[in-house]
Amino acid sequence: MPHSNDKILRVGILSPVTQIHPQLNFEYTAHLICRQLFEPLFDLPTTAQPVKPLLFDGPLEPLVNSEGGVTISARLLPGVLFSDSTPLSPVQILNSLQHEGFHWPVEVSHEADRIYFKLERPDTNFHLRLTQISCAPVLERERLFLGTGPFRALDYSSPDSIYLERNPHYRFTVPLDGIHFKTYPPDTDGSKKALTEAVESGEVDITTFLDREDLPRLNRVRKWLEPGCSICNLYINTEREPFNDLRVRKAIAMSVDRMKLAAACFGNALAFAARGPLPPLMGNWYDQVPYDRSAAQKLLKEVGQVKFSRVKIISPWGPRPYVPYPERVIALLQEMLGYLGIEFDVLPTSDLDDYRRQIITGDYDFALLGWIADTPDPIDFLEAIYASKSVPNRIGTSGLFSNESRWRNSEMDAALAAYRADPSENRHQNQSKIMEILTKEVPVLPLMYGPTIGAHAFRVKNFKPHPLGLVSLGEVDFW
């Protein structure tokens, strides 16, 4: 256990983490912890810093003579060590990039210390995909998974109390001796009283798991609330009747008052009510789905006799940044969709694995969850939710398989491929095509945008919030 005089950063979280592995964890808390242990190939960009390589000695370079695709490469940064002093080799990088959970159209190989990526089609922003923590190399040692990041996990950790210590083989200076992630579960009503009190009392040094309503209760810490890169969605299972009819889905969407849902979770509903499939930081992506209950009923009459039996809605296992009060949201959705004669049977989930197990079965009509961006590129966000290849099909696949509406549409797949391949001004045309399809089909109804909210003790210095929420704590120190 840490000594009393060690510099230990105490981080408050809301839910236990049962496994710490960059290719097997798809939940925000696990990702945050993984960022301290493992390093992706490129670092996330900020407003002050563009994307920079972490494990390569330079940017990706195109290969002039490439047949049957586009090949780019980079040379491995020399001197990188895992936390047990094992040198990083190209083999570990290939293993992470070829993990079965991925579905990238990329072929990876190496010669000596150079890694080659062969793409099926051009992708100017491919380096942004390599900022995902799931690209991080992993070394398995007994019960632990080792990385090249600033910290390493200690084997006496438990799911609700995770201890990290400084990686003695990290190539940069790490001011802290370690980090302790401790779970403070929310109350049954979703409130975060235990976490808020721990922050205010000084028991917790930093947390990124607060809500807007929690901030006024804090007086002895620094607080921040910034635009985030997440969104809450209502997924409509397009494989089930009558939801396989786009007119039914459109009627459902027009019956939902997104402003009222946002007001139930955030103080400024106008800022957080979703208007399209992407967070505002990723640009102006507006759908044309109005709140109009009369038009919704009229549309259902055009369909003919539609009888809704009690529908199944999968609920999240706890508060998320984009839906801090899931019970409130589901109750309001029941009230709104009751206007169409829809009644809910709520399917609770105990954790992310349980949620994904229920999603894999396909035995549901609606699912309430969302997506937190892994990269700043809109196409990565869109593909994870709307591409046919992203329909979840088995346990253990990565979070990129988040098409929980189980929607397969060849026209959308073509539009997404065109948007990814073309970085020129035609991207605007491709964006318009994507929005035209989504407004017509409505496989998913975006409900609310999620902010980045947090607080830290005055003794904490060098902490830099990030819109994606996936911060590295390797530079944090105490005054």
Q: Report if residue 17 sits inside a domain.
A: no
CA dihedral angle for residue 215, residue 217, residue 223, residue 226, rounded to 10 degrees: 10
In three-state secondary structure terms, 300 is helix
Token pair recorded at residue 45 = 């960009």
Band of residue 423 on the pLDDT scale cut at 50, 70, 90: low
Looking at the DSSP assignment, which residues form a beta bridge with residue 9? Answer: 179
Band of residue 49 on the pLDDT scale cut at 50, 70, 90: low
Mean per-residue pLDDT for 235-259?
A: 96
pLDDT of residue 360: 92
Determine what percent of the chain falls in helix, strand and coil, rounding each to the nearest 5: 30, 25, 50
Q: How many domains are contained in the chain?
A: 1
Structural domain including 250 reads: 231-450
Find which of 43-47, 355-359, 405-409 is predicted with most confidence, using mean pLDDT.
405-409
pLDDT of residue 40: 92
Mean per-residue pLDDT for 461-473?
A: 82
Is residue 136 within 8 A of residue 39, CB to CB? The reply is yes
Rounded to whole angstroms, the Cα distance separating 397 from 208 reads 26
Q: Report if residue 337 sits inside a domain.
A: yes
pLDDT of residue 462: 93
Is residue 254 within 8 A of residue 297, CB to CB? The reply is no
Burial class (CB in 10 A: 0-12, 13-18, 19+), 453: buried
Q: Report if residue 385 sits inside a domain.
A: yes
User: What residue spans of 38-148 are helical by DSSP H?
Assistant: 90-97, 126-129
CATH of the domain at 282: 3.10.105.10
Asked if the model's pLDDT at residue 179 lies above 90, the reply is yes
Q: Which of 48, 50, 148 is nearest to 96 (CA)?
A: 148
Cβ count within 10 A of residue 239: 13
Q: Tell me what the pLDDT averaged over the chain comes to.
A: 88
| List of residues 6+ apart from 379 with CB closer than 8 A | 125, 416, 419, 420
Is residue 434 within 8 A of residue 419, CB to CB? The reply is yes
Is residue 368 within 8 A of residue 404, CB to CB? The reply is no
Q: Report if residue 140 sits inside a domain.
A: no
Cβ count within 10 A of residue 253: 23
Token pair recorded at residue 231 = 């969104």
Band of residue 396 on the pLDDT scale cut at 50, 70, 90: very low
More confident residue, 24 or 425: 24
* Of the listed ranges 16-30, 154-168, 225-239, 291-305, the one predicted with least confidence: 16-30
Mean per-residue pLDDT for 258-264?
A: 95
Burial class (CB in 10 A: 0-12, 13-18, 19+), 50: exposed
Is residue 297 within 8 A of residue 340, CB to CB? The reply is yes
Is residue 156 within 8 A of residue 178, CB to CB? The reply is no
More confident residue, 153 or 225: 153
Q: Identity (one letter) of the amino acid at 376?
A: P
Q: Report if residue 159 sits inside a domain.
A: no
Asked if the model's pLDDT at residue 102 lies above 60, the reply is no
pLDDT of residue 105: 66
pLDDT of residue 314: 97
Going by their DSSP bridges, the two strands 114-119 and 460-461 should be labelled as unpaired
Q: What are phi and psi of 183, to 5 degrees?
A: -85, 130
Exposure class string for 312-340: b at 16+ Cβ within 10 A, else e = bbbbbbbbbbbbbbbeebbebbeebbeeb
Q: Report if residue 119 sits inside a domain.
A: no
Band of residue 242 on the pLDDT scale cut at 50, 70, 90: very high
DSSP tally for the chain: helices H, then strands E: 13, 20
Instruction: Report the run of H or E that residue 146 belongs to, with start and end.
Output: strand 144-146
Find which of 13-22, 72-81, 128-137, 210-219 is predicted with most confidence, using mean pLDDT.
72-81
Asked if the model's pLDDT at residue 222 lies above 80, the reply is yes
Rounded to whole angstroms, the Cα distance separating 152 from 433 reads 46
Q: Which of 257, 405, 244 is nearest to 333 (CA)?
A: 257
Q: Which of 467, 49, 449, 45 is nearest to 284 (CA)?
A: 449
Q: Report if residue 221 sits inside a domain.
A: no
Asked if the model's pLDDT at residue 292 lies above 90, the reply is yes
Q: Report if residue 318 sits inside a domain.
A: yes
pLDDT of residue 163: 96
pLDDT of residue 67: 63
pLDDT of residue 124: 75
Band of residue 103 on the pLDDT scale cut at 50, 70, 90: low
Mean per-residue pLDDT for 406-427?
A: 86
129-144: per-residue pLDDT in tens?
A: 888 888 899 998 877 7
Going by their DSSP bridges, the two strands 139-141 and 114-119 should be labelled as unpaired
Instruction: Report the run of H or E that residue 228 belongs to, with start and end.
Output: strand 221-236
Q: Calculate the alpha carbon distances from 180 to 37, 207, 394, 477 in Å.
A: 13, 12, 33, 14
Band of residue 397 on the pLDDT scale cut at 50, 70, 90: very low
State pTM to two decimals.
0.78
Rounded to whole angstroms, the Cα distance separating 318 from 400 reads 20
